[in-house]
Structure 1
Amino acid sequence: MSTGEGRRSSKKCLAYVAAFVVFQTAIILLFVLIVMKVRSPKVRFNAMAVESFSSTNNNSTSFNMTMLAQVTIKNNNFGDFKYENSTLSILYNGVKVGEAVVPQGKAGPRKTKKFNVSVDLSGIRDRVGNDLNSGVFRLSSRGTVSGKVQLIKVIKRNKSGEMKCDWSINLATRQFEDLKCN
């Protein structure tokens, strides 16, 4: 073997090693940018049902209602989302009339955690009488579920999911309508 051929084969070997390193770097970069990107979970109300509803119309109109709501926490990450105890507020015309308690838990990778909560609502408002007479009761919910996303048991990132939902209750049928969550 001549020295010219040895140099050519060592240059080829060096070129293959360089190409392999570039390829591996690209794969790792894609993995980090796509798989390891930590996203905020999505918190939503899905299904709701009115268990009881009553109203009074004496000096000041008031209402009492118990509803059962399904809360979902959708984890789009490739790692577990472990969340802490949280409270979701139910609002009527911007005033808190009840709250749903979200117990601490875990949503698995690329999974949606579903659970039911019972919420007691009550309030005294001047406008309640108009809404009760119209037969449509408009409510909204706001809240944040905070926790940590853990990737490959090494990387931990604090993330939180916000809930902003608006809906109406048809008092004649006691059915929920127009549920919209952002």
Structure 2
Amino acid sequence: MKGEGRRNSKCLAYVAAFIVFQTIIILVFALTVMKIKSPKVRFGTVAVENFTPSTTNSSSFDMRLVAQVAIKNTNFGHFKYDSSNVTILYGGMPVGEAVIAEGRTKARKTQRFDVSVDITSDKLSGNTNLTNDIGSGYLKLSSQAKLSGKVQLMKVIKKKKSGEMSCTMTVNLAQRAIQDLKCN
């Protein structure tokens, strides 16, 4: 009888240890795998494809930028996003816009694709800063985009998330190249 009580207490201790162990495993799983983060959206590279200064007006131009958009999904589930727009701005005013088609980024992967943006200064007539910047040979631009969608874990959990991009860059007009590309 005395040994039977000891056996029961050992069994109870094993069950308690197993429950504590399982709780720790579930807690670690919940804090790492199940934590859903917003994807990161950035410009990887940007190239000036065409640049045409106006022959009649020194403060006018047209150009095409080809930008590599990178969507980094750090989640353990895929990120499916709706179509969106990327906007290029000069001095806070939009000068170009392109569509980012809807798509899907796999779990723990970075998806890259190119977007062409046609930029024109037609909407900036009378901007004295534009004339000065074109004269200096350097044009400061910024970009904005927001990708909204859902992260899906194990085909069960779906959570709305969005990735936002805000980049600044300087266009060297003489070399037709992008300098100082910085994304937040």
Confirm or deny a common fold (TM above 0.5). Answer: yes
Q: In 2, distance between residues paired with 1:144 and 1:57?
A: 36
2:178 matches 1:180: no
- Structure 2 contact 59–134 (Cα < 8 Å) conserved: no
**Structure 1 counterpart of 2:104:** 106
**Structure 1 counterpart of 2:165:** 163
**Structure 1 counterpart of 2:15:** 17
Determine which of 150, 153, 157 is the counterpart of 1:151. 153
CA displacement 1:101-130 (0-9 Å, x = unmatched): 111111101100000011101114322111
CA displacement 1:110-164 (0-9 Å, x = unmatched): 1000000111011143221111110001100012001100011111000000000
**Structure 1 counterpart of 2:66:** 68
User: 97-106 vs 161-170, which deviates more?
Assistant: 97-106
Secondary structure in 1 matching 2:54:
strand
Q: In 2, distance between residues paired with 1:123 and 1:57?
A: 14
Q: Which letter maps to 2:80?
A: K
Q: In 2, distance between residues paired with 1:58 and 1:52?
A: 18
Secondary structure in 1 matching 2:15:
helix
Q: Percent identity?
A: 56
Count how many residue pairs are aligned between Structure 1 and Structure 2.
180
User: 122-131 vs 160-169, which deviates more?
Assistant: 122-131
**Structure 2 counterpart of 1:83:** 81
- Structure 1 contact 74–113 (Cα < 8 Å) conserved: yes
Q: Which letter maps to 1:52?
A: N
Q: In 1, distance between residues paired with 2:86 and 2:29?
A: 35
CA displacement 1:44-82 (0-9 Å, x = unmatched): 111111111112264672211111110010000011000
CA displacement 1:76-96 (0-9 Å, x = unmatched): 001100011011111000000
Normalised by the size of structure 2, how large is the TM-score?
0.94
**Structure 2 counterpart of 1:134:** 136
**Structure 2 counterpart of 1:38:** 36
- Structure 1 contact 168–176 (Cα < 8 Å) conserved: yes
**Structure 2 counterpart of 1:54:** 52
The answer for unaligned runs of 5 or more in structure 2 is none
